[in-house]
Amino acid sequence: MVRYLTEADERDETINPTKWWLNLEGASEIVYQFVSSGFTTNAVSKANTISRRSRKNGSLLSAKNLLLLAENYLATNTIDYELLRSNNIINM
């Protein structure tokens, strides 16, 4: 994860000639969302390490909560981040 966040900042095509970061043009801020079917007990510590090393904010999202997020979006056609945070669906 740190590698991708660093590449997004540096945008050095000698390191990665695919120039995937061009898809980020116009983004005002880069954050990360780590999605997994499950996290170990030290996942938060690892996420904090990623944030510290990359100087980027991010969060962990379980696959279950990703499905709840999608279901909420389909039902309302909007994303209420405060509601999601208060229900611990996202922790960003």
> What is the C-alpha separation between 70 and 63, in angstroms, rounded?
11
Distance of CA 30 to the CA centre of its chain: 9
Q: How far is CA 52 from CA 48, 79, 81, in A?
A: 6, 27, 24
* Entry pTM: 0.68
Highest-confidence segment of 13-17, 41-45, 79-83? 13-17
**How confident is the model over 13-25, as pLDDT tens digits?**
999 999 999 999 8
Which residues fall within 8 angstroms of residue 66, CB to CB, at 6 or more apart?
A: 35
**Confidence tier at 44 by pLDDT (50, 70, 90):** confident
List, in order of start, the domains of the chain with CATH numbers. 2-86 (3.40.91.30)
